[in-house]
Amino acid sequence: MADRKIRRTLLEQWGAALTARALRMSSSHGASAARRFGLRSVGTEAALGFPVLFETTFPVLQNAMREGMAPQLARVQALFHTIAILEDTNLAHRGGLAGLRYAQRAARDFLRAGGANRAGGLDAARSVQRAFVARNLSPGGAADLLAAACWLQRLQPAGEAR
């Protein structure tokens, strides 16, 4: 599959540079939140070959599409799976560790209740979104990984799940 080759190439050709960059102290909000709360930063995630992208976000998106979910619903499903597990430093920056954990719980609850493909799934997702807005929470890291998963999906050769 193209995604495995991309990840392998990323690690082989850029792994050392990504690791060196992750070790340098960044002054970004996300890096500060990662240090403050002991989370994995985006730099570390990159140096590890984007495990959440390649082991969760992209496979969930692919499986949802393979199971016949509409593209919009498949993307919502993948986003919530990502929010549920990612140490999203944007959430931590905006809401502290409590905000991050709240978002992760809300995503897990959404998925346990049937996720995006259930009756009223999009309305339930919008309800979670409104709760995030009310708490000034933005799962920007998860959204970035969803965008990357959509890009990987477009790179898949014809005949592979879309």
Distance from C-alpha of 50 to C-alpha of 45, rounded to nearest angstrom: 5
- Return the pLDDT at 162: 45
57-113 pLDDT, tens per residue?
999 999 999 999 999 999 999 999 999 999 999 999 999 999 999 999 999 999 999
In percent, the amount of the chain with pLDDT more than 70 equals: 92
Sequence-distant (≥ 6) Cβ neighbours of residue 138 within 8 angstroms? 90, 91, 94, 132
The mean pLDDT of the chain is 90
Confidence of residue 14 (pLDDT cuts 50, 70, 90): confident
- Better-predicted residue by pLDDT, 27 or 73: 73
- Return the pLDDT at 134: 98
In percent, the amount of the chain with pLDDT more than 90 equals: 65
Answer whether residue 159 shows pLDDT above 60: no
Q: Output the CA–CA distances (angstroms, integers) from residue 79 to 16, 52, 55, 56, 150, in the order listed.
A: 29, 11, 13, 10, 11
